[in-house]
Amino acid sequence: MSAITPERLSLNTATVREQWDLAQCIEGCKRHGFGGIAPWRDKLQEMGVSKAAAAIREAGLSVSGLCRGGWFTDRGAVDQTVIDDNRRAVDEAAEIGADCLVMVVGGLAKDSRDLPAAWRMVEEGLAKTLEYGREVGMKIAIEPLHPMYAADRACVNTMRQALDICDRLGPGIGCAVDVYHVWWDFELEAQLERAGRERIMAFHICDWLVPTRDMLTDRGMMGDGVIDIPRLRGLAEANGFDGLNEVEIFSALDWWTRDADEVMETIVERARTVC
Amino acid sequence: MSAITPERLSLNTATVREQWDLAQCIEGCKRHGFGGIAPWRDKLQEMGVSKAAAAIREAGLSVSGLCRGGWFTDRGAVDQTVIDDNRRAVDEAAEIGADCLVMVVGGLAKDSRDLPAAWRMVEEGLAKTLEYGREVGMKIAIEPLHPMYAADRACVNTMRQALDICDRLGPGIGCAVDVYHVWWDFELEAQLERAGRERIMAFHICDWLVPTRDMLTDRGMMGDGVIDIPRLRGLAEANGFDGLNEVEIFSALDWWTRDADEVMETIVERARTVC
């Protein structure tokens, strides 16, 4: 397996979200030779979707994904507001030419302990978003989040669970595989094989730190933690994945406090040496 | 499903570990009408195993489990030291008349990212401990820990993974089901059914707080979090579990700072009302 060269990297804008706006991210990707970018919707809307789309195109970047649709449980029901917001996300993803719309599906509804109800809402919301995604030709990528986010962010927490949903919903829906969320899973190898080329829609990298000081914002730079990234990347690629390696690091205590160009340089170096 | 009366409760000594030694825990269980206790080995050894066994017997308490054997990856290999320590744990469990020895299997070996190697060590260690457990008639209960502990505590993280191991190792080994670790799992219902009466060896309760401020020591009192404990207890009981409800709460910020009798009273009250 060959090392990751910069043109095989995509910058998820969350990685430098405290330092750069989207225009700066696009410039930074170009300057550091990244092949792609994956914007978050807040940064995209702040810049303006059309303007951003043009700038990304002009910079020659591909878009490994748009973060993020979903949050189907947020209002306690998959109502028109939720559906409309996800349709807008699909439209935005299409306008910037994203490979897929990444879905963070939502956790328990407010004041609820009813996890089966959350699962039902999520599947209903995914089905409706997928229907629209098919109309406009945008792929829907469920991101199974680490089980520690089941209550408050996403109640789809393993590749098996995500693929069971994909099996039921049919073509056009797959998974965004983030090593941070799935590295621990003894079934990962089998489920990546089950997913196959069509359903491994994105591959996100960062690292799991020991200790992890904050459940949300203490992800590590590749190489600083315990995830065997080469093994996981090898599994994704062995099953046909040939997209970009998207770097998504939430790091309030470390990388968000550094100069963004230093962060980009470190990513390029670590991608070459430890991924 | 009927409410949990005090005699259906067991106190895991970790719940009041900062306040009480084992003798005080035994007295406390008796005073508050608990039916059982589940000591940790450090408290057991501190009191002396024989003396503790006698005191527990005299108090009329049953022992829902001994915490904990395992840590098979701790030395990078399942060497004689690891095996001997687990044999001692089996002996201690037998001497106090525990229902089972609870296994926290260990995470990645020191300085290792090799999760498959950890899985192999764990299975080897479990097999050897089980062999001895069968000799002395002590059941071995794998406790699948929440995936957020995969790196540093236990690389067995779901009921499915634990039961796959049980299937391979045969009779005498099963699971300790702690709602904190497994509540998020979409397969929990199916896997509890698969486990069946013989392999649901313990049932631990506490709650998952939102937010969780510390990954290790911020568990909630039943009712203060988002776990649907009645649903989970119902599933365990529907599959034949009729053991005690063992209360295990790690809470550096809250319950460990309170008067232990207040903690016990709260447990009794919550068991009656929200479990």
Reduced to 3 DSSP states, what percent helix, strand and coil does chain A have, rounded to the nearest 5? 45, 15, 35
Chain B, nearest residue to A155 by Cα:
B184
**For A208, which of B114, B151, B211 is closest by C-beta distance?**
B151
Interface check for B183 against chain A (CB to CB < 8 A): the answer is yes
Kindly state whether B148 is in contact with chain A, defined as any CB-CB distance less than 8 angstroms.
Answer: yes
CA atoms of A145 and B136, how far apart (whole Å): 42
Q: Which amino acid is at A190?
A: A
Sign (positive/negative) of CA torsion A96, A167, B234, A77?
positive
ipTM here: 0.97
Taking an 8 Å cut-off on Cβ atoms, the answer to whether B210 and A152 are in contact is: yes
Alpha carbon of B23: minimum distance to chain A alpha carbons (Å) = 33
- Cβ(A184)–Cβ(A82) below 8 Å: no
Domains of chain A: 6-273 (3.20.20.150)
Mutate which: B166, B226, B229, vs A, most A CBs within 10 A: B226
Q: Tell if the CB–CB gap between B115 and A228 is shorter than 8 Å.
A: yes
Nearest residue in A to B152, CA atom: A210
- Amino acid B1: pLDDT: 79
**String of DSSP letters for chain B:** -----GGGEEEEGGGGTTT--HHHHHHHHHHTT-SEEE-BHHHHHHH-HHHHHHHHHHTT-EE--EEEEE-TTTTSS--HHHHHHHHHHHHHHHHTTBS-EEEE-B-SPTT---HHHHHHHHHHHHHHHHHHHHHHT--EEE-PPPGGGTTTTBS--SHHHHHHHHHHH-TTEEEEEEHHHHTT-TTHHHHHHHHHHHHEEEEEE-B--SS-S-TTTBPBPTTSSS--HHHHHHHHHHTT--S-EEE---BTTTGGGS-HHHHHHHHHHHHHHT-
Could you tell me the two tokens for A66?
A: 């748009």
Partner-chain contact B151 A226, CB within 8 Å: yes
Is there a contact between A113 and B148 if contact means CB atoms under 8 Å apart? no
pLDDT tens per residue, chain A (275 residues)?
889 999 999 999 999 999 999 999 999 999 999 999 999 999 999 999 999 999 999 999 999 999 999 999 999 999 999 999 999 999 999 999 999 999 999 999 999 999 999 999 999 999 999 999 999 999 999 999 999 999 999 999 999 999 999 999 999 999 999 999 999 999 999 999 999 999 999 999 999 999 999 999 999 999 999 999 999 999 999 999 999 999 999 999 999 999 999 999 999 999 999 99
d(CA A158, CA A181): 8
Q: Which of A114, A164, A184 is closest, CB to CB, to B157?
A: A184
d(CA B33, CA B123): 38
Most A CBs within 10 A among B145, B156, B186, hence the mutation to make, goes to: B186
Query: Given CB atoms, is A190 within the 8 Å cutoff of chain B?
Result: no
**Nearby residues of A95 by Cβ (< 8 Å), 6 or more positions away:** A49, A50, A53
Query: Residue written as tokens 């309030």?
Result: A252
Interface membership of A217 toward B (CB under 8 Å): no
Short-list A170, A158, A126, CA closest to B188 = A158
Sign of the torsion angle spanned by Cα atoms A95, A96, A98, A101: negative
CB contact under 8 A, B187 and A151: no
Question: Are B157 and A185 within 8 A, CB to CB?
Answer: yes
Tokens, residue B4? 């949990």
Write out the H or E segment, with its range, that includes residue A203: strand A200-205
- Determine phi and psi for B204, rounding to 5 degrees: -110, 140
pLDDT of residue B63: 98
Tokens of B228: 């649907």
B147 touches chain A (CB under 8 A): yes
Which tokens is A175 given?
A: 């998974």
Is A161's Cβ below 8 Å from some Cβ in B?
A: yes
State the Cα–Cα distance between residues B93 and B192, nearest whole angstrom: 25
Work out how many CB contacts closer than 8 A connect A with B: 81
What's the alpha-carbon Rg for chain A, to the nearest Å?
Answer: 17
Number of C-beta neighbours around residue A250 at 10 A: 17
B contact residues 83-142, partner A, Cβ 8 Å cutoff: 108, 112-115, 119
Cβ pair B155:A119 closer than 8 A: no
In this complex, do A184 and B226 lie within 8 Å of one another by their Cβ atoms? no
Q: Give me the residues of chain B with pLDDT under 50, please.
A: none
Task: Scan for tokens 């933690």, then name that residue.
Answer: A225
Q: How far is B116 from chain A (nearest CA, A)?
A: 8
pLDDT recorded at residue B22: 98
Q: Give the H/E segment covering residue A66.
A: strand A66-70
